[in-house]
Structure 1
Amino acid sequence: MTVLQPIKPAKKARIGLYSIGLQEYWQQFEHLRERLLEYNAFIAARMEEYGEVYNFGLVDTEGKGRQAGEWFNANNVDIVFCHSATYATSSVVLPVHQMCRKHAVILNLQPATRVNYDLTTTGEWLAHCGACPVPEISNAFERAGIRFRVVNGLLGLDYTPVVSLTDETTHLRPEAIRAWTEIAEWIRSAAVVRTLQNSRFGFLGNTYSGMLDMYSDFTMLQSQIGFHVEILEMCDLNRMLERVTPEEIASKREEAYRMFEISEDSPADPLARRPTEEQLEWAFKVAAAQERFVREYDLDALVYYYHGAPGNEYEKLQSGFILGHSLLTARGIPCAGEGDLKTALAMKICDMLGTGGSYSELVVVDYEDQTILLGHDGPFHIAISEGKPVLRGMGLYHGKLGSGISVEAKVRTGPVTTLNVTQGRDGRLKMIAGCGLSTGGDIMRIGNTQTPVRFNQHPDAYMARWFAEAPTHHCALSIGHNAQLFRKVAELLECSFVTLCGE
């Protein structure tokens, strides 16, 4: 994916880590404590690739467990990893998580693929028996109402400790690679949650009238996700427009010509034509105002739609939105049209995970290619484009007032995942992920983004499953197969999650 400089970089996760053992062991088995601390330091160093690590070290008594929990609270961690280094009673572990109620992940990471059966002593065995207490800990967590998950696999050392009696070099083993992939996913997901809880979503204008799936309760969103919704008016943006300088317009022109192709007239649709110089100049000016707007209000995402009297000045202002909002989306400020806050959230999640997140809806089914075209006439995530997107002049925005410039593009060929954020009758948010393949097939040349996606079933069967989950009609389209990442984000946010990926 083309990486553009973000306007507001995502926050790093604050990771709590500790290893467990029994205090009685240290006098009984020479070097065992030091060996487990060496494993602990290795895990901490690996985790630092993804976030800020707060490593308590060894928890080997019930009292130490309480201290660790309080220490994690004091450091405001987002997630707590319990490294099951050797046997420890559940009474040692439970207090950590009763004090610090953040999501718990137990790391059952065995140092070697097998013990040396001929030479292994009790002390050597204890360095490899991390799986032994996990059932006991799991039961204690369940009975205490503590949410947890377990990562199983190999530790992944690229050397063997001096005191070891067997080969512990396991970093190339699939069990180690798989385990560390899952650990990284948990940390990346925790970073999403931290960023969302410190985010400001701008809501400009209103929701497109009559789209009942998109109406959102701002308080509900803040209570469930944590972001603040800043309600904004077109006059706020118009103030920014009045301050735009010729230098800013020239800068946006250069940025747009670098990222887009300028279209000729569409061979099929008389409404889709080469942009006029007047349309381009207006779009560049509005794009400069939009960036000022985002910076002025310190926004992390923007949702917008304006409906007013025909021919008023704000209608003209809205006609220049799509270029600037596409540029902002590519720089980490996802912009969702039609007042769709829930899809802005889906786009933000995708973007923070480095997978794009383009504003989409179901466009049309191609029964011959067995694909579903997904796209929209709104903002596109340029960073995940197949080739250079096209700027096309639109004589009319379908279903809306006004005309202007639109983006015609498709997401690059390869694995993709859709992410819907919807809401049920209980008021709770639900995430729906669908995995498919962007085929690179033909698209219409009408000034809309469109990506042909082949899912894992016939389009009719797939749509039946999708629609049964009561999604909103918009979704975020991301590159890669990301259902397991999205599942972890949903779990940390305590949202329900459905995958249509057959996983």
Structure 2
Amino acid sequence: MSLFPALKPSKKPRIGLYSVGLRAYWEQFPGLRDRLTAYGKFIERRLSAWGEVFNFGLVDTESEGRRAGEWLSSRQVDLVFCHAATYSTSSTVLPVHQICSAPVIFLNLQPTARISYEQSTTGEWLAHCGACPVPEFANAFNRAGIPFRVVNGLLGLDRSPDISLADEATAGRPEAVRAWREIEAWARAAAVPRTLRYSRFGFLGNTYSGMLDMYSDFTMIQAQTGLHVEVLEMCDLDRMLRAVTPEEVKAKLEEVRHMFVISGDSPSDPIAKRPTDEQMAWSCQVAAAQERLVREYDLDALTYYYHGAPGGEYEKLQGGFIVGHSLLTARGIPCAGEGDLKTNVAMKICDILGTGGSFSEIVVVDYDDETILLGHDGPFHIAISEGKPILRGMGLYHGKQGTGVSVEAKVKTGPVTTLNLTQTGDGKLKLIISEGASTDGPIMRIGNTQTPVKFREHPDGYMARWFAEAPTHHCAMSIGHNASLFQKAAELLKMAQVTL
């Protein structure tokens, strides 16, 4: 999700599709084969809204199944939808997925809500009996050790084909809407593993000393997600800084004024004041250098932290980080502070799926409103902001070195989902998913992001269950209720997940 054109758009998923049938039917029931092929073309058109679709067509024998498996493998598809168009033997379908290892979803999409009992012929019935072979497929795949999922519902055509004896205009039926919502989620989720496999995450500086939950093995991260970690030094950014032109600084300042409200002094916190002209100019110069860094190293995300010696050049440089990293996050390059690579991956997952993904941690609990404030000092995902974020000049960054400009903002009021990426004791990554609602409750005026979130149970109960999952103490906040979407992404990544 980008507020402005993304510096690097996410990859489109490559979606495989085929329909199944029984070859013996085609001579017995003229028109049936063409009718089922047309259903497959309809599914192809719908799927093309969410990815690049490779439709093999109709598979009706085991030898054709082998050919389909080879064809889909050669297209390097991320996910395969098997349309159970009519009855087919499991021996026709199993070879496809013994050859093509992409995850498979069986589509049991009946064209009509109710057949015409009085008029129906055997050929008409066969056009509607997609559910018939699915138990057979499930049994064969289970015994072959091949995971699968099934989507049940109505096909959702806008009009009935001329050949049909039943009403097939089911697009508005809840069974069709529900099924296509599920199909869309699978298709969109397939963009996550594909994009991560081609992603370059910059790791600038180090991890905040002592935050043991955030330390990760770069090899383990790449092994389980496919992303590459490019280790960067502050001198790399400093080199970019020295090349920044006055025109670039001016352009960044215009961008900042368009995206932010420049605050006055905080009415409550003496360290949060109106940013000075010098602070703004420095933040924009650093922001221009940060964009240069992203472009030179072809980054898709950036994890960063640098403490800096008091009074040193790099202390001053890191003091200007927050504005630029917020601008990058708004353009599809999520930036995570304190060296938290795992949360940066969670933010990138949210961004790939178009749901935001702002860097957060527990700020404070409001027991009167029964909300938990989630936020952080540092960058904010501007695209999911409730109104324009505010920039404040900070006399100090709590727990860190230096001074500079910080962001004060909250996420849009309405449904939200937090996504936490943690690491278990055996070194495996695990997603922790929580749905709730951002409220219109008050926030502090201290130059930090804060969003009051009401989860589905009392804060104490929610925190007890969240803490029991051993999370990383940061998380990514997304807009919308996205648990189903995140669960599918986890499954396609072969990653453990828990939804609270």
User: Which amino acid in structure 2 is aligned with residue 293 of structure 1?
Assistant: L
User: Which amino acid in structure 1 is aligned with residue 429 of structure 2?
Assistant: L
- Written as runs of structure 1 = structure 2, the 5 A alignment for 1:460-499 is 460-499=460-499
Aligned residue in 1 for 2:182: 182
Tell me the distance in 1 between the aligned counterparts of 2:233 and 2:465.
39
Aligned residue in 2 for 1:452: 452
Aligned residue in 2 for 1:371: 371
User: Which amino acid in structure 1 is aligned with residue 10 of structure 2?
Assistant: A
- Written as runs of structure 1 = structure 2, the 5 A alignment for 1:103-142 is 103-142=103-142
Aligned residue in 2 for 1:31: 31
Aligned residue in 2 for 1:153: 153
Aligned residue in 1 for 2:253: 253
> Contact 2:435 / 2:483 at 8 angstroms: preserved in 1?
yes
Aligned residue in 1 for 2:67: 67
Aligned residue in 2 for 1:409: 409
User: Which amino acid in structure 2 is aligned with residue 291 of structure 1?
Assistant: E
User: Which amino acid in structure 2 is aligned with residue 175 of structure 1?
Assistant: E
Tell me the distance in 1 between the aligned counterparts of 2:458 and 2:51.
41
> Contact 2:2 / 2:329 at 8 angstroms: preserved in 1?
no
Shift of 1:144: 1.1
User: Which amino acid in structure 2 is aligned with residue 334 of structure 1?
Assistant: P
Segment drifting more, 135-144 vs 82-91: 135-144
Shift of 1:359: 0.3
Residue aligned with 2:101, SS: coil
User: Which amino acid in structure 2 is aligned with residue 25 of structure 1?
Assistant: Y
- Written as runs of structure 1 = structure 2, the 5 A alignment for 1:53-92 is 53-92=53-92
User: Which amino acid in structure 2 is aligned with residue 405 of structure 1?
Assistant: V
- Alignment RMSD (CA, Å): 0.8
Tell me the distance in 1 between the aligned counterparts of 2:304 and 2:426.
26
Q: TM-score, normalised by structure 2?
A: 0.99
Shift of 1:2: 7.4
Tell me the distance in 2 between the aligned counterparts of 1:494 and 1:322.
34
Tell me the distance in 2 between the aligned counterparts of 1:215 and 1:266.
35
Aligned residue in 1 for 2:423: 423
Residue aligned with 1:415, SS: strand
User: Which amino acid in structure 2 is aligned with residue 68 of structure 1?
Assistant: A
Residue aligned with 1:161, SS: coil
> Contact 2:252 / 2:287 at 8 angstroms: preserved in 1?
yes
Tell me the distance in 2 between the aligned counterparts of 1:431 and 1:323.
28
Shift of 1:235: 0.3
Residue aligned with 1:223, SS: helix
Residue aligned with 1:184, SS: helix
Tell me the distance in 1 between the aligned counterparts of 2:408 and 2:307.
24
Tell me the distance in 2 between the aligned counterparts of 1:150 and 1:4.
37
Tell me the distance in 2 between the aligned counterparts of 1:7 and 1:309.
32
Tell me the distance in 2 between the aligned counterparts of 1:142 and 1:332.
39
Q: Percent identity?
A: 72
User: Which amino acid in structure 2 is aligned with residue 114 of structure 1?
Assistant: R
User: Which amino acid in structure 2 is aligned with residue 125 of structure 1?
Assistant: W
User: Which amino acid in structure 2 is aligned with residue 358 of structure 1?
Assistant: S
> Contact 1:80 / 1:104 at 8 angstroms: preserved in 2?
yes
> Contact 2:199 / 2:300 at 8 angstroms: preserved in 1?
yes
Residue aligned with 2:212, SS: coil
Aligned residue in 2 for 1:350: 350
Residue aligned with 2:88, SS: coil
Tell me the distance in 1 between the aligned counterparts of 2:247 and 2:192.
35
Aligned residue in 1 for 2:234: 234
Shift of 1:41: 0.6
Residue aligned with 2:201, SS: strand
> Contact 1:2 / 1:384 at 8 angstroms: preserved in 2?
no
> Contact 2:2 / 2:330 at 8 angstroms: preserved in 1?
no
Tell me the distance in 1 between the aligned counterparts of 2:174 and 2:467.
37
Structure 2 segments unaligned to the other structure (5+ residues): none
Tell me the distance in 2 between the aligned counterparts of 1:249 and 1:309.
26
Aligned residue in 2 for 1:205: 205
Shift of 1:308: 3.0
Tell me the distance in 1 between the aligned counterparts of 2:218 and 2:64.
41
User: Which amino acid in structure 1 is aligned with residue 8 of structure 2?
Assistant: K
* Runs (4+) off by over 3 Å: none
> Contact 1:262 / 1:391 at 8 angstroms: preserved in 2?
yes
Shift of 1:3: 3.5
Given the alignment of the two structures, is residue 50 of structure 1 paired with residue 50 of structure 2, yes or no?
A: yes
User: Which amino acid in structure 1 is aligned with residue 344 of structure 2?
Assistant: A
Tell me the distance in 2 between the aligned counterparts of 1:47 and 1:35.
19
Tell me the distance in 1 between the aligned counterparts of 2:147 and 2:199.
25
> Contact 2:373 / 2:451 at 8 angstroms: preserved in 1?
yes
Aligned residue in 2 for 1:437: 437
User: Which amino acid in structure 2 is aligned with residue 483 of structure 1?
Assistant: A
Residues 492/40 of structure 1: CA separation in 2 closer, same or farther (3 Å cut): same
Tell me the distance in 2 between the aligned counterparts of 1:29 and 1:441.
64
Shift of 1:79: 0.3
Shift of 1:170: 0.4
Shift of 1:352: 1.0
Tell me the distance in 2 between the aligned counterparts of 1:159 and 1:184.
21
Tell me the distance in 2 between the aligned counterparts of 1:260 and 1:400.
24
Shift of 1:4: 1.8
Tell me the distance in 2 between the aligned counterparts of 1:136 and 1:172.
30
User: Which amino acid in structure 2 is aligned with residue 337 of structure 1?
Assistant: G
User: Which amino acid in structure 1 is aligned with residue 488 of structure 2?
Assistant: K
Residue aligned with 1:213, SS: helix
Q: TM-score, normalised by structure 1?
A: 0.99
Tell me the distance in 2 between the aligned counterparts of 1:143 and 1:272.
63
Residue aligned with 2:190, SS: helix
User: Which amino acid in structure 2 is aligned with residue 70 of structure 1?
Assistant: E
Aligned residue in 2 for 1:330: 330
Tell me the distance in 2 between the aligned counterparts of 1:361 and 1:308.
23
Shift of 1:147: 1.6
Aligned residue in 2 for 1:221: 221
Aligned residue in 2 for 1:319: 319
